[in-house]
Structure 1
Amino acid sequence: MLEPIVNFFARVFLWIGRGIGYVVAWLAWPFMAAARWYRRRGWVLQLAVGSVVLLFVGLYAYFFWQTQVWTNFNPDYVQAYDLESRAVSAGEQVMATEGGEARTCGRSAIAEVAADLTDFNVNQNAWISSMLLYKTGFFFIDWDDTPFFDNKASFQRGVNQTVRRTAVELVDALGRVRGTSQIDSDLQKARESIQFSENAWYFGLDPFGPKIPTPGFYRTAIESLRRFNDRLESCEAVFDARADNLIQFLDRIANDIGSTSAILRERSENYNSGWFDTRADDRFWFAYGQLYGYYGLLHAARADFEDVVNQRSLGSLWDTTESQLRAALNITPFIISNGREAGWIMPTHLATMGFYILRVRSNLVELRQVLDR
């Protein structure tokens, strides 16, 4: 009695197996044809073609390694700075000799974290967006339009966005007195360098000719930020740690992540393909990179504006904001899904990330309101 049922399933699996075999054969055919062509050539041509093939295999192996291994990635990286033990605001004089000739001022934790985040992006890791194989894409399809090899690039761009935003604030407000003093040359150079195109390689078509790749400019920004901090420590530079500057900095961060929240909402509402949404991972990891960067920068801002934070009794609210940022960094799914919010099979990671971003933003708005009273 069960024999017809068994035969039916046997036939089904037989046809499935044949179908898989046809697909594998179709995929393998170009390689088999190339191998037959290669065997018929002379040794000189074989050597030349083999060298090119080995070069591409090596490049793709390096590309695969760099996109999959996130060196020194650590959601708790802020703990290494030990800023809680620091008892001086940025730019505040902390020591002087009796004659007043040698002075020491507080370094800027914001500038230090911004430099370290950029170092993490381009020195401790390869900058993915400007790598040749990333620019050529998957058979000339942009990697951002595929579900492969683009998560780290999106994360790095999110981190870089936070440094770009911070560099602007350092030049326009934090690194000068009430906007009327001269712009700091090191901060200006850092801002110009960090704003450079994120995907420049050694050669480009627009304009045509050789170029300095993106990591070269970002390394210049690192040097400029650290040089500013050295001058600040020697009291030769300015950090204006006033409450209104902190308000403006918090406003800029809130607006920045608010824009990202809108992007996540648009994608979540209009594209509900679950695990098959090939752009959901780009949006998610860009937002994650932003929160990763702002976690360190807000932790640094608390140290740089220590007097303001203490005077306005912001400690508890600031702790809450940082704890929410850290909680968001716990969301690291293996595959990003953009399912419906009411769905029960495929999760909606974009909506979850958007929820955390809005929580952080609401706390930033509350911090600003307390400061503005």
Structure 2
Amino acid sequence: METSAEFSLKRGGERPTVTLTGDWTANNLGDAPTRLAQAIGADQALAVDIRKVRRLDTAGAYALIRAVGRDFDLKTVQARPESGRLLELVGAAVRVEREPPAAPRGFHEMTVRIGKGVMHVGYEWIDTLAFLGHLLVVVARAFVYLFTNPKRIRWAAIFSLAERAGLDAIPIVAVTSFFIGAVVGLLGANMLRQFGAEVFAVELIGVAVLREFNIIITAVLLAGRSASSFAAELGSMKMNQEIDAMQVMGVDPFEALVLPRFIALLATIPLLTFVATLSGLFGGMMVVWIALDLGPAFFLQRIVDDVGAVHFCVGMSKAPVMAAVIAGIGCRQGLEVGGDVESLGRRVTAAVVHAIFAIIMIDAAFALLFMKLNI
């Protein structure tokens, strides 16, 4: 029959004596080690008698050594031979100082960092493919629901996110595009004046704004504004275990959280790109009007005749791709947040950096594609 670990402290004689009784095993220790340490206090000269202990294991021996002190003398312990050997083994193990592994230096450190970086990129690529696959499944399911059961789609969340992530960004997109168009017009007018071709500043503004700067400025601003917001929102929910609770209740986080953000950004970025186009052309027109004395009617006529709608369609064709990339990166980084604030900060930063990098790469790919198609 097992008995709980107990002890008694007798302070008479030359030195205090602690007598242990019962079973000093992992299942029967209870709070005996804590009470023993409190009873001993600062006593250094101490005798220990464990001959009355019925059973002793490594947990009990370690608890006794911690309570008495790591520098206690085994010669002051009265014990049966088998118990004495166990105390000797555990005491020797406790006294061993673990040496920290030597940190790699020089070329070794560089190879270790490169290897970890390559492994990290590989894991990120696998996680990205898994995220993309899950997202495509949810999008296909939502497309089916659109015709079979529209009530399954979270329209309220989509419209709310479209207003917050898209429509609220119209002022900053318009102001930024206005100044970009003005800068392009000013640089074009100054450079073309050397060749007596100031009038072609209109075509330069039209092509630059309609084809590149409208979508680039819009996408970069949304990467800093919406991608970071998506990552922070989903990351906070992940930290508070709200996403885990949704999964326990049978709610798919992709359908409830990722899909509304994906659709909202996909629906609003063409509007923001159109606003950026108008604002950029207006900024360039103002510069041309003031610097070159070319009126708005002349500016708009040359845009229609010489630039045309092809460049506008090229710029607008990039908008859905940019929206999908920004929303996907923001949501994926948010779902990868761990349980601490540091992880949240790293993921929010990564969302913005990765989104801007992806925007530049996609725009370069589109440029090569349209160049091959001669568009």
Q: Which has the higher helix share?
A: 2
Q: With CA pairs under 8 Å and 6+ residues apart, which has the higher RCO, 1 or 2?
A: 1
Q: TM-score, normalised by structure 2?
A: 0.26
